[in-house]
Amino acid sequence: MLNRFRFNTDRGSTYTANDFTQLCKEKLGIRQSMGRVGSCFDNAAAEAFFSTLEWEVLSRHSLTDPDQARAIVVDWCYGFYNHSRRHSSANMMSPINYETASVQPDAA
């Protein structure tokens, strides 16, 4: 089976458990990826994003089906996270405002 979907996780016991890895591979068609232990190239920004998503969205909704989950996550990502939520790594601005403020006009 070709794994269409892939996601990166840390090496926590939840993500490395045999039942979870089999579920991902055999039932859901998801390919896991994990950095090496102690690697300085770990994606801290992505892990922070998914931690925030889990805390601010997924833990606060009773999701009944994939379409509902998709709608809630997309709305949160585009409607709130990118446009309204302030980020400490972006000088306490939303990503959209940070990028807009960072754009330099082309030199003439």
Q: What is the pLDDT of residue 1?
A: 44
Q: What is the pLDDT of residue 25?
A: 85
Q: Per residue of the chain (108 residues), what is the pLDDT tens digit? A: 444 677 777 777 778 888 888 888 888 888 887 777 766 566 677 778 888 889 989 889 998 998 999 999 999 998 888 888 888 878 899 888 888 888 776 644
For residues 10 and 33, give the distance between their C-alpha atoms in angstroms, rounded to a whole number: 9
Token match 């232990």: residue?
37
Q: How far is CA 22 from CA 38, 62, 68, in A?
A: 25, 25, 25
With beta carbons less than 8 A apart as the criterion, state whether 76 and 50 touch: no
Taking alpha carbons only, the member of 99, 60, 68, 71 closest to residue 83 is 99
Specify the pTM.
0.54
Query: Which residues does 98 contact at the CB level (< 8 Å), separation at least 6?
Result: 87, 90, 91
